[in-house]
Structure 1
Amino acid sequence: MENIGQATHERTKSLRRAIMGSLVGTSLEWYDFFLYGTAAALVFGDVFFPSYDPLTGTLLSFITFAVGFAARPVGAVIAGHFGDKIGRKKVLLATIMVMGVSTIGIGLLPSYATAGVIAPILLVTIRLIQGLALGGEWAGGALMIAERAPKERRGFLTSFVQVGASIGNLLSTGILLLMSSALERDDFVSWGWRVPFLLSAVVVVVGIYIRLKVTETPAFDVLKESGTVSKSPVLELLRRQPLDVLRVIGIRAGADIMFYLLITFLLTYISKTLGLPATVGLTAAMLGAGMQLLTYPAFAALSDRFGRKPVTIFGAVGAIIWMIVAFFPLVDTKSVGLIILAVLVGLVFHSAMYGVQAVWICELFDAKHRYSGASLGYQLAGIVGGSLAPTIAIGLLQIFGSTTAIIVYVCIALAIVAVTAAFTRETRGVRMNDHEEQQAAETSVRA
């Protein structure tokens, strides 16, 4: 009995460390990634593409934003391969170090006025490196929790990876809001925007320290001890579960499109089209990120009770209704309060989709190629969804001169989420790991 109690205590301690390691590390990684997107909307057009009109300059900066998404599937393949061969922990340490160094590099870049065309070339190069690092981060963080968590609370606990994304968004938006509010526009464009990027030098050290203390997942340990680690996990994934990769893309892409419309495109729309201060959009984004610290775990907990599928469909259908009926009409009033309301309600429905994704995606794949499957599906969806969403939205606004086409675009993407979710198998309560049988046996003995 004493040995059983000790084993349970050790597993609980290990789970807590995994949650903290994933939460902090993912927060830092997404801080870096969101920081780029927000800066692209606010300042990169002036710093790196000053010879174009404001909207075109912003469009070009959003194209560099999309480059990071294009690199993420490559990073997913690399990280997935090694994460399924040598372990989740080692890969996660590498991703956070690469992400931190590349983000500091952006803060040190010369402007177009100083270095000419070299400046945007360097920006694109570093953005590619950022994308490679993030390509392997999300799935590794999710698996560090999901492969340890008890199945009855797996959705709730794994959602803290998604909370990490929200914390990263909150921190990046908040510090840019602070800098843009405290400085004159010329000072912000000249040097103020660099400060948030350089701060990564401090926070990345914290992330590395915490991740060094996290142990490998039980699922991978079982594979390693039994000698069943896959030699070619990506090829095995594509041979055995290609449809599940497509399902992940279908579930994810529409939610991504909606999110980047609310967070990234809206910053440009508010400042360039409506003529409002950029702080309005930043405030709405920051409040939304703060709200999602609660809504992600809440919807994930509901999925532990009612299933991954119904919660996701609720989010997609609710988002469609909100986009058609209320979103842009509220934003176009130019009322700060109504703009914030439009964003917050939209992000509630987004939370229902995104909060459930971490656990659902992990549960869909076999342990031998789970890192590869979760990484590749998630990051391919990012290309189809978030990478092009701000650029497409700006293009539609330029072509049609109204937001109607943007609404149609987003609603089609959300409808694909609902349909894909309806035809994807429910995974709530599935056994992900061999050690779960041991846990159940120990629980029975204690009873």
Structure 2
Amino acid sequence: MTTVVNPASTGPTSSGLERDARRIHDDGPISPGSIALGVIIGRMSEFFDFFVYGLGSVLVFPKLIFPFAPTPVAATLMSFAIFPLAFMARPVGSFVFMWIDRNYGRGTKLTIALFLLGGSTASIAFLPGYDTIGYWAVALLALFRMGQGFALGGAWDGLASLLNLNAPPNRRGWYAMIPQLGAPIGFALASILFGYFVANLSEADFIAWGWRYPFFVAFAINVVALFARLRIVASKEFGSALEANELQARPIFEMLSKHAHDVVLGAFVPLASFAMFHLVTIFPLSWVTLYGGQSAAEFLFVQVIGAAVGIVGIILSGLIADRIGRRSQLMIGAVIIAIFSFSAPFLLDAGGKGQDAFIIIGFGILGLSFGQASGAVSSRFGQYYRYTGAALTSDLAWLIGAGFAPLVALGLASSFGIIFIGGYLISGAICTIAALSLSRVLDQSGEPGGQR
């Protein structure tokens, strides 16, 4: 096990400064409410960055970066081909930032990660188009997208685990859903910003400069999130959890030597909700933009309403999970997604009213399933490896379940028909049901880990 550098022997490090900060922290105990707020702000900032990019990959990049594509569909597919680079870079970021965490402290790790995340997103705002610098525009977009993913690998702060430590035994489902609220909030903010500029600017002005403002805003949001999270990281409660080995970063290969099968299993458990994630956010906007039904501005504001419905669904997931258990909640969510997959293609291809129904119903179902996804990826790890195991498992789950979703869904739908997105959704649901069933078998056979 790698140990934290001793500040007495090597000079001041962030680790030592963090311990000093906890000793002098006199603001009183950090309440579960403060931890919850910090978690929501942190997750909201991360999802805002990713959704600003995701919306830009539909509304901006096909025209700005890929104007040489033969058709609008081809341009959007090229744009979506850059999209998964962040999810591919994220596990690499986790590996590097876990080392920084062990040797220089979580405060240093979070500061570097969030400035890199905000900086990568804000840098896209200055990106020239293909008409100005040619294929360098494509290369720079790919570089900044990988920077987003690499940084997100370091944004894992352990606050969700700290929140779980404060959860009463009969309220774990409720506490597990709180971090998930950041996703629909971040998406709603990004959609409102883009919707405002799309609705109020000409297409020429929007492509020339209007789309850049949401990317500027991302950096400011990340700075606010950084201070909100550092306040909790410097708290006595967080320090006590670290000292109890609950939130310590462990070497990834050491963790894999003990929990490789739990990482793989945990990555497939939330696959239904993660596959659904971009099929109600990024993909339908591309379908409406390319094939019609309503304007992009109108659809963006419908998606904001959908995000509000998703928030309600996430909250309900916590209440339901505390009554029937997280495993049963996730199983029910996967079954509902499988059922929805049969009607989803017809709704999305039925004009404006059908598209609105697709978004509202889809977000509600997503909230019910996604609300317990964070608990799913961490529940099979004991406290010693929970922090590192949950981080890597989450990275892989997002990569497998969501990273390629817009590209695959649009590729299938445009080539073979919209009906094929139903097949994509049902495949994710089958993976979740199979993983949950295998998890139950392993638990009954005495394997370590298990849903809690």
TM-score by length of 2: 0.85
Q: Deviations over 1:161-201 (max 9, x none)?
A: 11011111110111101110111111111111101101123
Q: Is the 8 A contact 1:173 1:286 kept in 2?
A: yes
Tell me: CA distance 1:240–1:174, structure 2 relative to 1, closer, same or farther (3 Å): same
* Higher-RCO chain (CA-CA 8 Å, sequence separation at least 6): 1
* In 2, Cα distance between equivalents of 1:250 and 1:197: 32
1:275 deviation in Å? Answer: 5.5
Partner residue in 2 for 1:207 = 225
1:333 deviation in Å? Answer: 1.8
Q: Deviations over 1:310-359 (max 9, x none)?
A: 111111111111121x222222220x333222222122222222101112
Matches within 5 A, 1:239-388: 239-274=257-292, 276-324=294-342, 326-334=343-351, 336-388=352-404
Q: Deviations over 1:23-54 (max 9, x none)?
A: 11211111011110111011111011111121
Q: Is the 8 A contact 1:92 1:140 kept in 2?
A: no
Q: Is the 8 A contact 2:232 2:238 kept in 1?
A: no
Tell me: CA distance 1:192–1:64, structure 2 relative to 1, closer, same or farther (3 Å): same
Q: 1:417 aligned to 2:432?
A: yes
Partner residue in 2 for 1:181 = 199
1:14 deviation in Å? Answer: 3.7
**For 1:110, what is the secondary structure of its paired residue?**
coil
Partner residue in 1 for 2:209 = 191
Letter in 1 for 2:297: T
Partner residue in 1 for 2:190 = 172
Partner residue in 2 for 1:104 = 122
Partner residue in 2 for 1:78 = 96
Q: Deviations over 1:135-167 (max 9, x none)?
A: 233563422422343333233123221101111
Give the counterpart of 1:408 among 423, 443, 451.
423
Letter in 2 for 1:198: F
* In 1, Cα distance between equivalents of 2:127 and 2:299: 26
Q: Is the 8 A contact 2:310 2:365 kept in 1?
A: no
**For 1:109, what is the secondary structure of its paired residue?**
coil
1:241 deviation in Å? Answer: 1.3
1:83 deviation in Å? Answer: 4.7
Partner residue in 2 for 1:50 = 67
**For 1:213, what is the secondary structure of its paired residue?**
helix
**For 2:294, what is the secondary structure of its paired residue?**
coil
* In 2, Cα distance between equivalents of 1:152 and 1:254: 25
Q: Deviations over 1:346-388 (max 9, x none)?
A: 2222222210111232332122222221111111122212111
Q: Point out the more displaced range, 159-168 or 225-234.
A: 225-234
* In 1, Cα distance between equivalents of 2:301 and 2:66: 26
Give the counterpart of 2:41 among 11, 24, 49.
24
**For 1:137, what is the secondary structure of its paired residue?**
coil
Q: Is the 8 A contact 2:345 2:421 kept in 1?
A: no
Structure with a larger share of its residues in helix? 1
Tell me: CA distance 1:253–1:82, structure 2 relative to 1, closer, same or farther (3 Å): farther
Report how many aligned residue pairs link the two structures.
416
**For 1:49, what is the secondary structure of its paired residue?**
coil
In angstroms, what is the RMSD of aligned CA positions?
A: 2.6
Letter in 2 for 1:213: R
Q: 1:134 aligned to 2:157?
A: no
* In 2, Cα distance between equivalents of 1:248 and 1:265: 25
Partner residue in 2 for 1:441 = none
1:10 deviation in Å? Answer: 5.2
Q: Point out the more displaced range, 37-46 or 391-400.
A: 391-400
Q: Is the 8 A contact 2:51 2:187 kept in 1?
A: yes
Partner residue in 1 for 2:21 = none
* In 1, Cα distance between equivalents of 2:106 and 2:309: 30
Tell me: CA distance 1:80–1:285, structure 2 relative to 1, closer, same or farther (3 Å): farther
Q: Is the 8 A contact 2:272 2:337 kept in 1?
A: no
**For 1:364, what is the secondary structure of its paired residue?**
coil
Partner residue in 2 for 1:438 = none
Q: Is the 8 A contact 1:309 1:421 kept in 2?
A: yes
1:405 deviation in Å? Answer: 2.2
Structure 1: unaligned runs, 5 residues or longer: 1-8, 433-447
* In 1, Cα distance between equivalents of 2:156 and 2:40: 10
1:133 deviation in Å? Answer: 1.5
Tell me: CA distance 1:81–1:241, structure 2 relative to 1, closer, same or farther (3 Å): farther
Matches within 5 A, 1:150-169: 150-169=168-187
Structure 2: unaligned runs, 5 residues or longer: 1-26, 444-448
Identity of aligned residues (%): 29
